[in-house]
């Protein structure tokens, strides 16, 4: 029992640190090689965690090897376009000018049902409104409608709008996040004044305070 | 929000390559160390058998005990890097050989000793960087 507990902790920490070192992209979007990595790591960690007759190094050495190889491949794919194409493949255009590219679909083993399902999930039921549909290397479908099917933007309508900027969390559950406050160029006094103006007595009464770069404030007080 | 940290991508590449090289070095060092350990113990056991065949049972027992102490002294290393089942099997075989050498039972001793030497050889063989092991 004790062995299992300690081993689980060690593997968990090794994998968390490893995945963290891989960078953010690996966590969100899995390329084929990253999917393989995830599956292999899960399997390599699970076996020594349960079987105490297998040394922990039997799991850790291959995991470290896989993480290092992935790190090397990810840098090489970033640096070399040909290598990237070889490892990750290239995006495929499956609809061009409203026409289904049957050869591309066959090459990617994408069925019509799957294509239609993906299009419906993005709100497109009529193929003729789709200018391009691109099957990305991550397996996701990007859909670009014809220009006359896109909703008009403020620029199209020639309307002037104020740029809000990126809202940052300044107070989270009563705690002031100094680094975000600094990034916004505001002071603690300003925050306290904004809080009081919105009916709260102090930081401890605030559940969430968002401030954008234009000075827009969103405040959610703590519930009683 | 944190300010973006400037880190050269090649730093990651070289760090990963260095860790891989370190792992490769460790695996080769392990193969060399296991071979040296098992070869030394195996030589003691073979020598002990020659002594037993010459009816020098006391010396044969002393040499077998020395081989056992050499193995037992590396217990932490062995259990950290090798399959526990293999290490346990060698422990059981050592106990049997020590018992047979003590009661001076030649046939049983010779068979148990040969099995122990073979187990040590196989253990070492399993760790060697060879195509046979890879495939």
SS (H, E, C) A163-179: CCCCCEEEEECCEECHH
- Partners of residue B20 in chain A, C-beta under 8 Å: 65, 68-69, 72
A67 touches chain B (CB under 8 A): yes
A47 Cβ under 8 Å from any chain B Cβ: no
The residue that leads in pLDDT, A74 or A130, is A130
The pLDDT tens digits for A90-112 are 889 999 998 999 998 888 888 99
Q: Which two tokens stand for residue A61?
A: 């050495």
Q: Which of A58-72, A160-174, A182-196 is modeled with the greatest confidence?
A: A182-196
Q: Calculate the alpha carbon distances from A88 to A73, A140, B45 in Å.
A: 10, 13, 55
Listed residues A59, A86, A113: the one ending a domain: A86
Do A105 and A45 sit in the same domain of this protein? Answer: no
Q: Identify whether A72 is part of a domain.
A: yes
Decide if pLDDT at A120 tops 90.
yes
Is the Cβ pair B16, A67 closer than 8 Å? Answer: yes
pLDDT, tens digit (0-9, with 9 covering 90-100), for B85-134:
888 999 999 999 999 988 888 889 999 999 999 999 998 888 888 777 77
CB count within 10 Å of CB A103 equals 10
Residue A77 clears pLDDT 90, i.e. is over it = no
User: What is the SS3 string spanning chain B?
Assistant: CCCCCCCCHHHHHHHHHHHHHHHHHHHHHHHHHHHHHHHHHHHHHHHHHHHHHCCCHHHHHHHHHHHHHHHHHCHHHHHHHCCHHHHHHHHHHHHHHHHHHHHCCHHHHHHHHHHHHHHHHHHHHHHCCCHHHHC
What CATH number is associated with residue A181? Answer: 3.30.240.20
What pLDDT, on the 0 to 100 scale, is given for residue A21?
66
* Banded pLDDT at A1 (limits 50, 70, 90): low
Predicted ipTM of the assembly: 0.73
Using only C-alpha atoms, chain A has a radius of gyration, in whole angstroms, of 25
Residues 6 or more apart whose CB falls under 8 angstroms from that of B108 comprise B100
Identify whether residues A39 and A73 lie together within a single domain: yes
Calculate what percentage of chain A has a pLDDT beyond 90.
Answer: 18
Mean pLDDT throughout A19-29?
57
The total number of structural domains in chain A stands at: 3
pLDDT digit string (tens) for B9-30? 688 888 889 998 998 898 889 8
Mean pLDDT lowest among A4-8, A34-38, A218-222: A4-8
**Does A53 sit within 8 Å of B83, measured CB to CB?**
yes
Which residues neighbour A128 within 8 Å (Cβ) at sequence distance 6 or greater? Answer: A98
Residues A79 and A97 in one domain: no
Contacts of B1 in chain A (CB under 8 A): 166, 168, 179-180, 183
With beta carbons under 8 A apart, name residues in chain A contacting B23: 61, 64-65, 68
Neighbours of A154 (CB within 10 A): 9
Are residues A40 and A98 located together in one domain of the fold?
no
What is the rounded distance in angstroms from the CA atom of residue B129 to the CA atom of residue B32? 10
Give the pLDDT confidence score for residue B63 in this predicted structure: 92
Judged by phi (left if over 0) then psi (alpha if -120 to 50, else beta), residue B104 lies in: left
Query: Would the pTM count as exceeding 0.80?
Result: no
Cβ–Cβ of A179/B2 closer than 8 Å? yes
Over 60: is that where the pLDDT of A26 sits? no
Q: Which of A21-25, A43-47, A105-109, B130-134 has the highest mean pLDDT?
A: A105-109
CA–CA dist A134, A83 (Å, integer): 21
The verdict on A6 and A82 lying in the same domain is yes
- Residue-range definition of the domain harbouring residue A79: 2-86
Q: A64 and A18 in one domain? A: yes
Tell whether A121 is within 8 A of chain B (Cβ).
no
Q: Give tens-digit pLDDT for B31-51.
A: 899 999 999 999 999 999 999
pLDDT at residue A68 is higher than 60: yes
Inform me whether the pLDDT recorded for A222 exceeds 90: no
């Amino acid at each position: 029992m004790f062995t299992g507990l300690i081993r689980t902790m060690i593997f968990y920490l090794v994998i968390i640190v490893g995945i963290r070192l891989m960078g953010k992209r690996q966590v969100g979007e899995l390329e084929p090689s990253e999917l393989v990595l995830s599956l292999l790591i899960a399997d390599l960690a699970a076996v020594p965690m349960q079987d105490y007759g297998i040394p922990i190094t039997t799991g850790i050495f291959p995991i470290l090897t896989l993480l290092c190889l992935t790190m090397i491949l990810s840098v090489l794919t970033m640096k070399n376009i040909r290598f990237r194409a070889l490892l990750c493949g290239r995006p495929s255009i499956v609809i061009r000018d409203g026409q289904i590219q049957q050869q591309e679909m066959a090459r990617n083993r994408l069925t019509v049902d799957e294509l239609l399902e993906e299009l419906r999930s993005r709100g497109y039921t009529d193929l003729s409104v789709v200018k391009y549909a691109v099957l990305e290397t991550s397996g996701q479908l990007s859909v670009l409608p014809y220009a006359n099917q896109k909703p008009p933007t403020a620029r199209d309508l020639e309307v002037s709008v104020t740029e809000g900027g990126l809202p940052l969390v300044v107070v989270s559950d009563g705690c002031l996040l100094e680094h975000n406050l600094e990034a916004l160029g505001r002071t603690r006094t300003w925050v306290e004044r904004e809080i009081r103006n919105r009916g709260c007595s102090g930081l401890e009464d605030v559940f969430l305070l968002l401030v954008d770069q234009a000075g827009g404030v969103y405040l959610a007080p703590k519930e009683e | 929000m944190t300010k973006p940290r400037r880190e050269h991508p090649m730093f990651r590449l070289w760090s990963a390559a260095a860790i891989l090289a370190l792992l490769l070095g460790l695996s080769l060092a392990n193969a060399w160390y296991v071979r040296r350990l098992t070869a030394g113990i195996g030589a003691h056991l073979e020598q002990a058998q020659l002594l037993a065949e010459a009816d020098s049972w006391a010396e044969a027992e002393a040499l077998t005990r020395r081989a056992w102490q050499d193995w037992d002294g590396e217990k932490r290393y062995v259990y950290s890097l090798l399959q526990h089942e293999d290490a346990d099997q060698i422990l059981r075989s050592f106990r049997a050989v020590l018992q047979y050498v003590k009661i001076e039972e030649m046939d049983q001793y010779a068979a148990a000793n040969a099995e122990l030497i073979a187990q040590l050889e196989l253990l070492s063989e399993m760790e060697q960087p060879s195509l046979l092991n890879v495939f």
